[in-house]
Structure 1
Amino acid sequence: MSPPDLLTLPLGGTVPNSALPARLYRAAFAYASPDQIEAALAGRGWTGAWRNGIYPFHHYHSTAHEVLVVVRGAAWVTLGGEGGLQVSVRAGDTLLLPAGTGHRNDRSSPDLLVVGAYAGGRAWDTCRPETTDPADARARIAGVPIWAQEPVD
């Protein structure tokens, strides 16, 4: 498999983002079922899996690193907060979002299904720029340990 695209986002502002780049792995889980994806992620220390879409508003997690695997469909996701970097993802693509990385589903196909999970099974929160104090969030983000393994081989 090809190495991931490293996506560096600006720090500060109402969305903290991370000094660690977000990672986009293209076709990492092509043709895999949700059960297969969840098992593969769990085997690499990414647990607490869920199945759904991606919220259509800017948000981030200050207590956990998140991985998003597109099972089916496609989406256009803005990373980094308002005016951030827009990426397109489709079935098989995987986004690794370090704690603090803003993300929003701008547009998606009606059949979008995503499997999400968290590094080390950490409890996660949902922070919104308009309701979360960025200084408090940055303090929580600083306490999140780096993941033990990448979510994909």
Structure 2
Amino acid sequence: MTNTKRRRISAALAAGGLLPAALSEAAGDAFAGSAAPAHPVQPQTLSFDPNGWIPNNQRLPVLVYRSAVPLSGGDPAALFEQAFARNGWPPQWRNGIYDFHHFHPATHEVLGFAGGSARLVLGGPAPIGREVRVKAGDVVVLPAGTGHCKLEASADFLVVGAYPPDEDIGISRVGLSAAQLHAMQQVLFPASDPLTGRDGPLAKLWRAA
């Protein structure tokens, strides 16, 4: 990643109140040695049509993994960071989710729910958007362009955000031009499922889309 892109990401995180992932040295050492889940969770898929200024993604569905990460220890967020990093989705922040509709036009995103619970809206406002309840242990993968926002959350709600390497993680709250929409549709296909690697459900479900 270039220094310019690192500065742009840092500025975007600071402006949005998103904190860099606090990876402990022990967590880093565990990346290579942590085993994948013995019984990988098969995700629910959600698809959304364009919704006003929110493009959503007509080719790739949202993936919702329920109770995908067994939580333990005093730092459950580190378990998500370990899994994401191990499978090629470098973790970028720990925080919450914005309470306004937005999307990422230039990257796919994985959200790991490390604490509490929340009501989210995916796909933009109703009637196209859909309310989704999440709780600690769940994981959601959002393809580029997918609208999302938080309706409400418990006081202990904690999210780990991660992205494929070297992508621009900036958000948009306005519609895209034709050229920007074309660029969104060309966002690189991720190399692996963020939980279970190259042979995980993401690869199968997205390649079949």
Normalising to structure 1: TM-score of the pair?
0.92
Seen in structure 2, the aligned counterparts of structure 1 residues 140 and 125 have a Cα distance that, compared at 3 Å, is farther
Q: How far apart, CA to CA, are the structure 1 residues paired with 2:168 and 2:91? A: 8
| 1:144 corresponds to | 187
Task: State the one-letter code of the partner of 1:24.
Answer: V
In structure 2, how many angstroms separate the alpha carbons of the residues matched to 1:56 and 1:12? 18
What is the rounded CA distance, in whole Å, between the counterparts of 1:121 and 1:48 in structure 2? 12
The structure, 1 or 2, with the larger RCO (C-alpha pairs under 8 Å, 6+ apart) is 1
Unaligned runs of 5+ in 1: none
Q: Give the structure 1 partner of residue 41 of structure 2.
A: 2
Identify the structure with the greater strand proportion. 1
Coordinate RMSD, CA, aligned:
1.5
Q: Partner residue of 1:100?
A: 145
Confirm whether residue 78 of structure 1 aligns to residue 159 of structure 2.
no
What residue number does 1:63 align with? 106
Distance 1:17 1:150 in 2: 20
Which one has a bigger Cα radius of gyration?
2
Task: State the 1:34 CA deviation.
Answer: 1.5
Q: Where does residue 47 of structure 1 map in the other structure?
A: 90
Q: Distance in 2 between matches of 1:97 and 1:59?
A: 12
Q: Aligned residue for 1:31?
A: 71
Contact 1:48 1:121 in 2 (8 A): no
Instruction: Deviation per CA, 1:54-84: give whole Å up to 9, x if none.
Output: 0000000011100001000001110111111
Higher helix share: 2
Any unmatched runs of 5+ in structure 2? 1-39, 197-209
- Cα distance between partner residues in 2 of 1:7 and 1:52: 24
Does the CA-based 8 Å contact 1:45-1:121 persist in structure 2?
no
2:154 aligned to 109, 128, 135, which one? Answer: 109
Percent identical pairs in the alignment equals 40
Distance (Å, rounded) in 2 between the aligned partners of 1:117 and 1:75: 19
Measured in 1, the distance between the counterparts of 2:179 and 2:123 equals 18
Contact 1:13 1:134 in 2 (8 A): no
Secondary structure of the structure 1 residue equivalent to 2:163: strand
